[in-house]
Structure 1
């Protein structure tokens, strides 16, 4: 099948490179499977490049996208229902800064007849051989994995439409996770330079309409200019002025803060741009920018060494699926390193974590302020849970990358266009303020902190008791 023909079937230039790989073979299903079975997709793409010339008209692309969207979203909803308990069960006693309650409970569904205790006693090879690795612990596909691209929660789309008259809605796909599993919106903003001001956002979303009013007189001119650039839209693969865009109207693009809302996150999703072929590309969650002044690695797998590198890379590569050729067509924005990039980084490095009044200056609980359960959870964190080996205080990150080798637990499987084979090295994300950054792991596969504790209990083989798991989650709320 030619790349041109595939493009007509799957809509996106990004999908041209690789969708044909998944169409020709029947994917294995979860359960006991044959060892050494060939993968259902080729290991190489036909090309590293996205075809630049697309002769389909916008009217045809739009028509196909609108027609395919219901089936695409039905597929993703069915996948989520199969994997997770999606009910809205808030823990009202634990809230984010501005009052949104945290979701409670393990949401990943167990294989029929299994318990978490049974799974924890099994070796990785046994879990793999019996097909008992919970589906919700497999990598989570993008809602339209065959193409990918930025997808924004509806609450952000509506607020940007209200403030700026700009449309971030795609006609071919929509965000898949329910709002109650996402960070509060708009998030609070805390500055390292002015902790006395508390939440400087005052409950507003920072955009090109509000940034000057909110921050003039608080920031210096360089920082204010950096913030201006962070809320300025630039062309992106799906949001641009060309006929093969994915918005109804031609678009000026997206801004950094369309994903990193208020310097935090709204959980917008995308695919990594640095992997080929398409089935091996990973869904990525938008990480918070809080605390970047202490971080030394950026990007879930890219290991960029400075926030300046990260800022420049996002504009020049990640926005266009890692293909600078297609970026030339759609409107690549070349930032000037000594001025614009430095100004943007200077503002980002002011973004602080929310206050944690129960922690001392070393990142340990103050006994007089903490509950018995929190103190017990801290002991698990630094002891049997082995959490602190990668998440030492006060940042609760070691600024390294680690390969958990989760592929030990399951046979490779193709799920909704995503080849679940291995994750590779992943950045250790900070845990400060972690209750405000759901969902978890680099690709959103863990909806709650309870899920995260169960996941690492299996991956690390720590065999925690139910009480230890509960105490550990309560401790994480205090960070």
Structure 2
């Protein structure tokens, strides 16, 4: 939902990358908005809103797709013999396109200031806008929409917008479920998407009654900003809402996207890709700004605030679901803490490679990970997280520019997500701007100024694929 911005005291941003930036020179954005509050009373009839946004949809999506094509190679190029836990091919290769006249090696040899002043930082390494950043809101891949419609008759289609990234860059669907309490069972999902229609059949006899109730709540739809029963919605028909598992599919992720609710004005809000819930039991920071210290805090916060862009007035209007802390929140959180990382047969108990099972490339990659590449400064074994926040200050490589409604500014502190099972969780970084692990290595090679060789980059990817 757009928050208006004043044009007084403007911050002028220069489209320093021309066509590569996807914007025209001279665009302006206000550093402060007129208000943090959204309009409560919708005066334009819903039928007119829907007709207007449907008419605008092709233009909005074409603009965003042009940006994606300018930034990335979106082809389907699976890695040979490398799959996710249930068999979906993993995409390989650097997909971020380079500006004319530079190579990854030449960029790595330049200082951040030189890269910024010459305007040659690859746009695919900059923040990735929401498909319609001025509008924002939850957006689901088509395969998930179709399955929910088939199982429940509930429609998560938005009349104004479709999901943007190709399916081959997203996690497998539906993903397997591994439980910390029953590792002997392997994937307990039986290859199914867990919904209200099958949750009892799948988990009765595996979870206790309290956990079963928590899981039921995780698959129960509740009103949300774009999906609710008011005229201020983005579904054609009044909607029962969305469930936690509509994004965190089977306790993992389907790559669904949204905008963080804790930043204003709209141009400064970050796109956020749904993180996996696997390994939540070992994590200690939650929420887009990581101010929440327990998964119970996060579970309650999602319903009260994140579902409604941090606006309690709008939440009241659309039907906020207030969870009871001592039972409902606790039950849901207990289930969330059961979701385990996928098996990693090449790792020992300490998270390091078993020398008897590792290939030479994987062994070299591990040495780089804990050495020259500096990955382990933040991603410490055995789960490959330090449970802290780190500010990479990527903005030192480029000048601020307004691209498709988002300011390419500072990311700020970013949570160190666990890397266990990382091959199951594309795309990467908090906003999904990095489509492959190879893209991720190139990004951090520049940001950390590590100057890895081509072979070292390949070895590092080989190691991360077995985590």
Category of TM-score, reference length = shorter chain: over 0.9
Question: How big is the shift at 1:25?
Answer: 7.7
State the partner residue of 1:17. Answer: 4
Answering whether residue 222 of structure 2 is matched by residue 234 of structure 1, we say yes
Written as runs of structure 1 = structure 2, the 5 A alignment for 1:299-314 is 299-314=287-302
Within 2, Cα distance between the matches of 1:344 and 1:19?
41
State the partner residue of 1:11. Answer: none
Q: For 1:223-268, what per-residue CA distance to the aligned partner results, in whole angstroms no more than 9, with x for missing partners? A: 1000000000000000000012100110010000000000000000
Is 1:39–1:412's contact at 8 Å kept on the other side of the alignment? no
Question: How big is the shift at 1:17?
Answer: 3.0
Is 1:303–1:427's contact at 8 Å kept on the other side of the alignment? no
Q: Secondary structure at the match of 2:53?
A: helix
Within 2, Cα distance between the matches of 1:392 and 1:26?
38
State the partner residue of 1:325. Answer: 313
Is 1:230–1:344's contact at 8 Å kept on the other side of the alignment? yes
Within 2, Cα distance between the matches of 1:27 and 1:252?
43
State the partner residue of 1:219. Answer: 207
1:255 equivalent among 238, 243, 263: 243
Within 1, Cα distance between the matches of 2:106 and 2:175?
39
State the partner residue of 2:125. Answer: 137
Written as runs of structure 1 = structure 2, the 5 A alignment for 1:187-198 is 187-198=175-186
1:411 equivalent among 393, 399, 409: 399
Is 2:13–2:26's contact at 8 Å kept on the other side of the alignment? no
1:351 equivalent among 320, 326, 339: 339
Is 1:19–1:279's contact at 8 Å kept on the other side of the alignment? no
State the partner residue of 1:466. Answer: 454
Written as runs of structure 1 = structure 2, the 5 A alignment for 1:179-194 is 179-194=167-182
Q: CA RMSD in A?
A: 1.8
State the partner residue of 2:113. Answer: 125
Answering whether residue 464 of structure 2 is matched by residue 476 of structure 1, we say yes
- Pair 1:121–1:212, CA change in 2 (3 A): same
For structure 1, the residue ranges without an aligned partner over 5 or more in a row are 1-13
State the partner residue of 1:171. Answer: 159
Question: How big is the shift at 1:27?
Answer: 5.7
Q: Secondary structure at the match of 1:219?
A: coil
Is 2:13–2:401's contact at 8 Å kept on the other side of the alignment? no
Q: How many residues align?
A: 462
Q: Secondary structure at the match of 1:229?
A: helix
Question: How big is the shift at 1:30?
Answer: 1.4
Written as runs of structure 1 = structure 2, the 5 A alignment for 1:42-121 is 42-121=30-109
Within 2, Cα distance between the matches of 1:26 and 1:464?
33
Is 2:11–2:30's contact at 8 Å kept on the other side of the alignment? no
Question: TM-score, normalising length from structure 1?
Answer: 0.94
Question: How big is the shift at 1:28?
Answer: 2.1
Written as runs of structure 1 = structure 2, the 5 A alignment for 1:433-444 is 433-444=421-432
Within 2, Cα distance between the matches of 1:72 and 1:270?
16
